[in-house]
A and B are shown apart, each in its own frame.
Chain A
Amino acid sequence: QIVLEADLTIQTIMEKLQSYKSRVALNFEGIQYRVGDFQVRVGKVAPSYSETMRGIIMEVEYLPISSVLTAKQILEDFVDAWKDALSKKSLPGQFLHIEPNFGEYGLSDHYTSQHTAVQYATVMAQLIATVQSAQVRT
């Protein structure tokens, strides 16, 4: 498993090489909030060619700590409290969280933008699998 950090022009290079073709492109767009030491981003996920929403993404960041292990418990506590508040609203759907294995990508415990990329890749894979599963059922 590899995560590469590169300029935006890497996309142009990959298109010109023609060895791989883009299969799915998703847009994540929403609003950022600040709640004390927490930064929360909530947005909709839609294919780049369409406004049809495929899901909702929520990103929670605990700003004072950059250690993945150290911040794990406080992030879980925040999400549990938020889910409890959300359950009282009787809204449809539920948020799923899959913990990426950063170690498989050779990433350390110190959180970086590469960790974020891995998390978004995991979210995308999860979302695609959920959409495909729903299509098979229908």
Chain B
Amino acid sequence: MECVVQGIIETQHVEALEILLQGLCGVNKERLRVHELCLKSSPNLGFVSSEVRLVCDLEQPEPTWIVRHIGGAMRGAGAEQISVLVRTMVESKASKNALRLFYALGYKLDHELLRVGSAFHFHRGAQITVTVSSVNKMPKLHAIDEAVPVTPGIQLVEVTAPATADNYAEVVAAVSSFCEYLAP
């Protein structure tokens, strides 16, 4: 499970935001360069269609892979009163042949993107991660070096924090509180 808040910022203001975040979080920014592949099951596979994401961290000396499943968002009267998106999320580290495995299982590449920017990891009532990144698309399959921004001049700001069914209320409160500092 995770709590998520997303927003956008113009690229010209990213540097100022990063300085603000460095002060608020008390940590230095880390470089972010992540190749994300979204796979979907072929129509005749299973009773329901499914989607899985493979995330490759390109900033590591040896690229590392994570398999991530993002489920539905919390719904109902309780969810409507929460200003933060709460959704199920399960992830697993995996060896580098994860993409080959999912292709062999009948999954197809739906889309891929490259996120480039910075990340801040810190603890403030909950373990929070803030990323500021440009989302880039690739003109050819896996052509990371040729990636171009999907929305030039605009970057994505994401605030995420892992949560459980037992503690999500506290995590929501921590994320909400932090996000007030980022409001325009």
Q: Which residues of A contact B (CB under 8 A)?
A: 2-10, 12-13, 16-20, 106
> A9 vs B162: C-alpha distance in the bound complex, in angstroms?
15
B81-109 CB contact bits vs A (8 Å, 1 = yes)? 00000001011111101101100111100
Residue of B nearest to A13 (CB): B69
Residue of A nearest to B93 (CB): A7
CB of B42 to closest CB in A, whole Å: 9
> A130 vs B157: C-alpha distance in the bound complex, in angstroms?
56
**Are A6 and B94 in touch, CB under 8 angstroms?**
yes
Residue of B nearest to A10 (CB): B92
Count of chain B residues near A, Cβ 8 A: 25
Q: Pick the contact of B67 from A2, A3, A10 — CB < 8 Å?
A: A10
Residue of B nearest to A106 (CB): B97
Q: How many contacts between A and B, using CB within 8 angstroms? A: 60
The reply to whether the CB of B177 lies closer than 8 angstroms to some CB of chain A is no
Extra contacts besides A6-B93, A17-B52 (11): CB < 8 Å: A2-B104, A5-B95, A8-B92, A9-B91, A10-B94, A13-B52, A13-B92, A16-B50, A17-B50, A18-B50, A19-B106
B46: chain A residues within 8 A (beta carbon): 17-20
CB of B95 to closest CB in A, whole Å: 4
A17: chain B residues within 8 A (beta carbon): 41, 46, 50, 52, 69
Majority-rule SS of A interface residues? loop
Known: A13-B90, A17-B46, A17-B50. A6 touches B41 (CB 8 A): no
> A8 vs B93: C-alpha distance in the bound complex, in angstroms?
9
Give the residue among B48, B50, B88 with the most A Cβ atoms within 10 A: B50
CB of B92 to closest CB in A, whole Å: 4
CB of A82 to closest CB in B, whole Å: 34
B50: chain A residues within 8 A (beta carbon): 16-19
CB of B33 to closest CB in A, whole Å: 22
> A13 vs B92: C-alpha distance in the bound complex, in angstroms?
8
A8: chain B residues within 8 A (beta carbon): 92
22 A-B residue pairs with Cβ-Cβ distance under 8 Å, sorted by A, are A2-B101, A3-B97, A4-B98, A5-B94, A5-B95, A6-B95, A6-B98, A7-B93, A7-B94, A9-B90, A9-B91, A10-B67, A10-B92, A13-B69, A13-B90, A16-B50, A16-B88, A17-B50, A18-B46, A19-B46, A19-B50, A19-B106
> A16 vs B107: C-alpha distance in the bound complex, in angstroms?
15
